[in-house]
Amino acid sequence: MNYEFDWSLLLQEPNWGWVIEGISNTVQLSLMAWGLALVIGIFIGTIRMAKSRVLRLVGTTYVEIFRNIPLLVQLFLWFFVFPLLLPDDFMRAWNRLDGVPFLTALIGLSLFTAARIAEQIRSGISSIPKGQFLAAYSTGLTEVQTFRHVIIPYAFRVMIPAIASEFLTIFKNSALTLTIGVAEITGAAKTIEAYTFRGIEAYSAASLTYMLTTASVVIFMGWLEHVLRIPGLIGKR
Partner 1 sequence: MDFSVISDNIEFLMLGLMRSFQLAVFTIVFSLTIACFIAIGRVSSRRAIRYPSAIFVNLLRSNPLILIVFWFFFLVPLITGKTLPEFHTVLIAFVVFFAAYFAEIVRSGIQSVGASQVKAALSTGLTYSQSMRLIVLPQAFRNMLPALVTECVIVFQGTTIAYVIGMREFLHSTSLVAERTVRPVELYLFAALVYLVICFAGTRLALFLEKK
Kindly identify the residues of this chain, within the stretch 202-231, that bind partner 1 according to CB under 8 A: 203, 206-207, 210-211, 214-215
List of long-range contacts for 127-131, beta carbons under 8 Å, 24+ apart: 127/155, 127/158, 128/154, 128/155, 128/158
Kindly identify the residues of this chain, within the stretch 65-104, that bind partner 1 according to CB under 8 A: 65, 67-74, 76-77, 80-81, 84-85
Query: Would you count residue 190 as binding partner 1 (CB under 8 A)?
Result: yes
Q: Give the shortest CB-153-to-partner 1 separation in angstroms.
A: 28
Query: Would you count residue 1 as binding partner 1 (CB under 8 A)?
Result: yes
Query: Would you count residue 138 as binding partner 1 (CB under 8 A)?
Result: no
Q: Which of 132, 160, 157, 161 is nearest to 49 (CA)?
A: 132
Question: 113 or 173, CB closer to partner 1?
Answer: 173
Query: Would you count residue 111 as binding partner 1 (CB under 8 A)?
Result: no
- CB-CB contact of 50 with 56 (8 Å): yes
Q: Using CA atoms, how far apart are residues 10 and 96, in angstroms rounded to an integer? A: 34
Question: 1 or 230, CB closer to partner 1?
Answer: 1
Residue 35: φ, ψ to 5°: -60, -50
Among 10, 33, 115, 178, binds partner 1 (CB under 8 A): 178
List of long-range contacts for 134-141, beta carbons under 8 Å, 24+ apart: none
Angle at 95 between CA 89 and CA 98, to 5 degrees: 130
Interacting residues toward partner 1 by CB under 8 A = 1, 3, 64-65, 67-74, 76-77, 80-81, 84-85, 168, 172-173, 175-176, 178-179, 186, 189-190, 193, 199-200, 203, 206-207, 210-211, 214-215
